[in-house]
Structure 1
């Protein structure tokens, strides 16, 4: 039966109507998969020797174990954002004499072979081999490796249980940030405390069975939950949900833009594709924590621009680049209404501007890393408002691909075309190039002021730029209506 299921999956993959259309996206995803796999493999091979060279007095295994808390929680966060639940077209099978248990076991077994579960092995297995080669106890290392494989699988099935629970995701973020700061300020070394548990597994490999028990428990819970949903009447019945409407009356102060802004805010929070993108705001805001603590990059000031543009413009980039494709499902109806197109675009601009300012304010604590960081972030905020927001809106006139709002954003290239790749150059690389050149030729202060001045010029020319962009949208209106009517 398993071979029959695999045969059906193979045929579904190659015979689907979207296969030829999405082959480019699949190749791109494959490229990224190979890149990450190669990176983890190289790191796994070289980690022992790098640690020995940089920290000669520390045991590489103990040091790696002390950072496993970050790796495990980071893996869970990455899965929450990126990993899709295992799916299978099971409706036709429910009227056939096929056991529901076999269907459920196949779906769960299929998830165990997910790339997310295999990726970590490209680090753990080479690292374990190097440890044995360098004289570590083989049984202890194999016990540690077995524990890491089981932990990876536990994360896989735990993710399926909490995938739709935003409170759990927020808790993971809180634990990750809290663990970092309590360690940074030397209040309590939580990562090292958890690392001692993995040290104990190396000393006593039988302890790895604890994770096997946890894995069996998680599998059983997933099995029971999924089996209860594998009924034909459950799959075809209409689900009724009570919708709690948020109070958006504060937007009424924005006048005739309020109806459009309300619609966009509801769209962001109620749909899976946009909701996944909202959580990117947290990652974008914390983007600088990867670069700024590194002393090697302290004098590489062009990095400040990269972080500033990205952290203050996370929503601008993730949401703005798909304007007006977010409304593609009802774009024809929207264009039949009696309103000025300029109001529609100004509402988008208002949302992008408010998000840029808000993210800058939330990022003010980055001043801890120096006043230069905050100064560049301020200039990046002005640049995003005056330049990048208009670039994003203009780029939207070339969007021709429909977006399904019910699909997750992770590894989802639906709605993505050449425009989204090309527009990255003026958004990110242009300000970095301008800043880097002027900083090298003149000074840091002049380079920062140049970015801010360019932003202020864009703000001063806002009305003229919007008039030109609006005309472009109106000229392409019927082309976009026709394009959005086509199925991807």
Structure 2
């Protein structure tokens, strides 16, 4: 009788339902089906990111990227350094792009051989990576709109940087991935872990960060801040317009390196 009374007190239908709802919400990736045939690859990437120690760092780095401007914008010293706005804009809106994209396809190195044996469409595989990176840029830009508090020029620079990231840097970093030959152990912690890091990861920073700063600084010096932002924006738009052609070119590079990558990922490095 005592056990029966305790059960009646503790047993509520709502508590059981709450547990079930929580489980569904945390694992439901149905929204990815809106992206068509790349949805399975997006789901694979999202699960990989959330379930492994190394890839989770890409998520936590979002906060660092979003708040990065607060280390500089409140300081009046940087008010007269507009080229620095672009650097922060590229970094702030592109932190996930840089942190996640630089290790494509090494994130999948543990099962890359199996993945390639499935006769998948490589372009879809890469487009899923592109889509995740592009979405992250849009989200981070929107979340960073409050930076307008420090001046409209900062918001304009961040907008130009975001378009540049989507149109240029996403393609650049995917192209760079075709040269990746370093395996990554996803179970390892991210802190002070340089596994998977090679010459590609160091060199890719030049076109990702240095090049847009040089272009911006040049046009800002020759013409004006607004024109410099416009140039980067136009470059990004051109990259978006030619996205399909660029992806076909990048896919070709991956297909050329397919067996080299399979062999490299089978090695212990």
Greater Cα radius of gyration, structure 1 or 2: 1
Match of 2:69 in 1: 288
SS of 1:348's partner is helix
- Residue in 1 that maps onto 2:80: 299
1:278 alignment partner in structure 2: 59
Pair 1:249-2:8 in alignment: no
- The separation in 2 between residues aligned to 1:415 and 1:405, in whole angstroms, is 10
Alpha-carbon separation, structure 1, partners of 2:256 and 2:28: 36
Distance 1:249 1:243, change over 3 A: closer
For 1:486 and 1:316, the matched residues in 2 are separated by: 27
Equivalent residue runs for 1:319-330 within 5 Å: 319-330=100-111
Mapped to 1, the partners of 2:81 and 2:104 lie a distance apart of 34
Partner residue in 1 for 2:228: 447
Residue in 1 that maps onto 2:212 = 431
Aligned mates of 2:139, 2:26 — CA distance in 1: 23
How far is the alpha carbon of 1:438 from its aligned partner? 0.8
Distance in 2 between the 1:315 and 1:294 partners? 25
Q: Aligned residue for 1:314?
A: 95
Which residue of structure 2 lines up, in the alignment, with residue 57 of structure 1? none
Offset of residue 360 of structure 1: 0.3
Distance, in Å, in 2 between the alignment partners of 1:361 and 1:479 is 40
- Compute the displacement of 1:245 (Å): 5.6
The SS at the match of 2:27 is coil
Q: Distance in 2 between matches of 1:244 and 1:287?
A: 30
TM-score relative to the length of structure 1 = 0.50
Structure 2 length-normalised TM: 0.90
Aligned to 2:246: 465
Output one character per residue of 1:394-440: Cα deviation in whole Å (capped at 9) or x when no partner.
Answer: 00000000000011212111000000000000000000011011101
Instruction: Supply the distance in 1 between the matched residues of 2:219 and 2:25 (Cα, whole angstroms).
Output: 52
Matched residues, number? 247
1:244 positional shift: 8.9
CA deviations 1:357-405 (Å, max 9, x no partner) are: 0000000000000100000100000000000000000000000000000
Over aligned residues, Cα RMSD in angstroms?
Answer: 1.3
Q: Counterparts of 2:25 and 2:196 in 1: how far apart (Å)?
A: 29
Distance 2:226 2:25 in 1: 49
Aligned to 2:133: 352
Report whether the alignment pairs 1:339 with 2:120: yes
Gaps of 5+ in 2: 1-22
Q: 1:246 offset after TM fit, Å?
A: 1.0
**1:393 maps onto 2:182 in alignment:** no
Give the CA deviation at 1:243. 11
Name the SS for the 1:323 alignment partner: coil
Instruction: Pick the aligned partner of 1:372 from 130, 148, 153.
Output: 153
Q: In structure 2, what is the Cα distance between the partners aligned to 1:487 and 1:317?
A: 25
- Please report how far the alpha carbon of residue 283 of structure 1 lies from its aligned counterpart in structure 2 after TM superposition: 0.6
Q: Is 1:418 aligned with 2:187?
A: no
Q: Within 5 Å, give how 1:60-79 maps onto structure 2.
A: none
- The 2-side partners of 1:252 and 1:354 are apart by 15
Question: What is the alpha-carbon distance in structure 1 between the residues aligned to residue 239 and residue 25 of structure 2?
Answer: 39
CA distance in 1, matches of 2:120, 2:110: 19
Q: Which has the higher contact order (CA 8 A, sep 6+)?
A: 2
